[in-house]
Chain A
Amino acid sequence: MTQALARHWGALVIFGLAALIPIVVRDAYFLDSLVLILLWGALSAAWNVAGGYAGQVSIGHAAFFGIGAYSAALLGTRWHQSPWLGMLVGVTLSLVAGGAIGYLSNRLKGPYFALSTIAFSQVLLIVASRWRAFTSGSEGIPVPFRPGFATLGLGHVAWVYLALSVALLYWGVQLWLEHSRFGYRLAGVREDEEAAQALGIPARRLKVIAVTTSAALTSVCGTLWAQYVGFVDPFYVFSVDLSVRFALNAIIGGMGTALGPFLGSILITSLETYLRATLSGLKSGFTGIYLIVYGVVLILVVRFVPEGLAGLATRLHARWVRANA
């Protein structure tokens, strides 16, 4: 038990802190940032299942996010159903959509696959923004806040624990992928698909399973996000920028590691909120600066620390062990 704890000390620190903070801190903005860090982290973890563990890098995951967000919003405003039901509907739809993307992943490689995922999310965007009769078109859907658990109308502290539960669950799913037979076979497919197939691993099926799971997990967070922020705007929920963001946290934190997405989310979300808060007060001409910094940081991290923060920590640790052997 202590062995396991020692191995996962990083997760213990992060999730432990997240659990303790709402008890100590009551500042709503801080809690809000914490919820966002956990949610973006969970979304990146969901992406990681397909991107990091299965090697299928998609820049269209916003498609599933949007499906989740719209399902909840539509069921809530049109048929007055609980967002939990909306979540289920979203998951079902995302499984289908994920299946389609999974099919594509078996036919396309690398940048082609990435481009096809972009196309997919943009098709959904156009449909959502034009189908006025059903989705209110470009005007989006305001999600009303109705207090209560069934309607996901929660206070900040409750949201922290909800987001934390989801984050822990997703972290667990990734860990399972690292230690289960399914996960080992998936890693084989990721590293060398042909060799894996030669060994009798059903590579195509595994990839589809990974992608559809990833889709469903993303959709759940989409639903949660919609209830948290309160407004579903098609140009945002289906945007390429958002898809990139999911991948970004995982890459910076460490693709293919369980904690990586969360590390990445901590860094990026904090950086973004901090920079935006600090720099937006400046003379309005300089407000784009934080985004320039953002872009440059991305280039640097992706080039010099490609294994991400988690990988970096492991690397440093190994170096220390060697130096002190």
Chain B
Amino acid sequence: MDPARRLGPAQIDVFAQLGVSTVLLGGIYALIAVGLTLIFGIMRVVNFAHGEFLMLGMYLAFWAFTLLSLDPWFVLFVSIPLFFGLGLVTYVLIMKGVIHASHNVQIFTTVGLSTALQNLALVLWSGDFHTVRPWHASTPIRMAGTAFNLSQVVAFFIAIALTVLLVIFMRWTHTGRVMRATAQDRDAAILMGIDTDRVYRITFALGIAAVGAAGVLVSPLYAVYPTAGLQFVLVSYVVVVLGGLGDMIGALIGSLIVAAVEVAGSYFFGTAWKEIFYFVLFIAVLVFRPAGLFGQRGAENLGV
């Protein structure tokens, strides 16, 4: 009989631990999904290469750590402008030409980008698995019967901070408002004199900066290898859809929900089934509330 089914006083520690794991895992998913939410929400483009930019962020942290002995927390600050630039370049070279094209064109453009980037990493850096081991990666924190990792906690708080920053940016700055307007109605935005190309450029660059930073932050926690993005990319889509288009806070809450479903599912039914739970959740959300739990009803049809 599956021991998870027995409940009693000894279980309290267990649930506390699972709760902590959920929150921390949710933080990591939020970190990774925040960039995707932005791009999907404003540009209505599903960036299938999102996981590859995460992978590039992880490699950046790895090389900085191995060659220059730089801690990922330091590299984080460097990575944001670096990946912002990378996002700009990618947009101008690749995305700009297809932003007004049909969905299939956009889908396959990012799919092609994904394949190209994965194999570029493979050719340049080989398929070997690498690790980044700064002091904080092996520093367990034990509190009230639960245990977790310092790197995870920091990643969690940075995820929150990043989300909050982006929310402030989107809600209270001019550029943010302009971005939201463009998301709601591109044609009206153009008529209002908004340079939609600039909006998309910034959006994409911000999204890539976010995911690149995420890569740097998670590098002490997971192995670094060319297909490392695959681990997270599908979950990110679930989070984005669950949370609602372009809604940052929604993405954060969505991440926690997905993490909870995963952790609970793994514990009670076995980890091999964990993806089934969030895929089924995904399909359910798509069928019953495609705008996401926090998006406005009907929002999913705008600009699509």
Contact = CB atoms under 8 A, between A and B. Distances in A.
A/B touching: CB–CB < 8 A: yes
Interface of A: 51, 57, 59, 104, 107-112, 114-116, 118-120, 122-123, 126-127, 130, 244, 247-248, 251, 255, 285-289, 291-292, 294-299, 302-303, 306
Contact of A108 (B104, B122, B290): B290
B103 to A, nearest CB: 4
Given A289-B123, A295-B119, 10 more contacts: A57-B103, A59-B107, A104-B287, A107-B290, A111-B45, A123-B276, A251-B104, A294-B115, A295-B114, A298-B112
A296 B287 contact: no
B234 A122 contact: yes
A63 B304 CA distance: 25
Contacts of A289: 119, 123
B169 to A, nearest CB: 24
21 contacts: A57-B104, A57-B107, A59-B107, A107-B286, A108-B286, A108-B300, A111-B45, A111-B46, A111-B103, A116-B286, A247-B104, A248-B108, A255-B104, A285-B126, A288-B122, A291-B118, A292-B120, A295-B113, A295-B119, A299-B109, A306-B102
A294 B123 CA distance: 14
A270 B232 CA distance: 33
Interface in B114-168: 114-120, 122-123, 126
B281 to A, nearest CB: 9
A108 B292 CA distance: 13
Q: What class of interface size applies to chain B in its complex with A?
A: 35 or more
B97 A116 contact: no
Given A59-B107, A285-B126, A292-B116, A119 B301 contact: no
Nearest to B275: A126
B273 A126 contact: yes
B279 interface: yes
B111 A244 contact: yes
Nearest to A299: B112
A292 B122 CA distance: 10
B286 A115 contact: yes
A302 B112 contact: yes
A170 B233 CA distance: 34
B237 interface: yes
Contacts of B234: 118, 122
Interface in B262-295: 272-273, 275-276, 279-280, 282-283, 286-287, 290
Contacts of A286: 123
A139 to B, nearest CB: 14
Task: Tell me the interface secondary structure of chain A in the complex.
Answer: helix
A298 B111 contact: yes
Contacts of B304: 109-112
A285 B123 CA distance: 6
A115 B241 contact: yes
B105 interface: yes
Contacts of B98: 302-303
Contact of A109 (B107, B114, B126, B300): B300
Contacts of A122: 234, 275, 279
Contacts of A119: 238, 279, 282-283, 286
Contacts of B114: 295
Contacts of A292: 115-116, 119-120, 123
B95 to A, nearest CB: 10
B78 interface: no
Contact of B273 (A114, A130, A296): A130
A109 B103 CA distance: 10
A291 B108 contact: no
A298 B115 CA distance: 10
Contacts of B117: 295
A268 to B, nearest CB: 12
B44 interface: yes
A123 B276 CA distance: 6
A119 B301 CA distance: 20
A299 B116 contact: yes
The 9 A-B pairs of least Cβ separation, nearest first, read: A295-B116, A298-B112, A295-B115, A288-B119, A288-B122, A291-B119, A299-B112, A288-B123, A111-B46
B112 A295 contact: yes
B276 A126 contact: yes
A107 B287 contact: yes
Contacts of A297: 112
B12 interface: no
Contact of A303 (B109, B241, B272): B109
A146 B120 CA distance: 42
A99 B31 CA distance: 36
B74 to A, nearest CB: 31
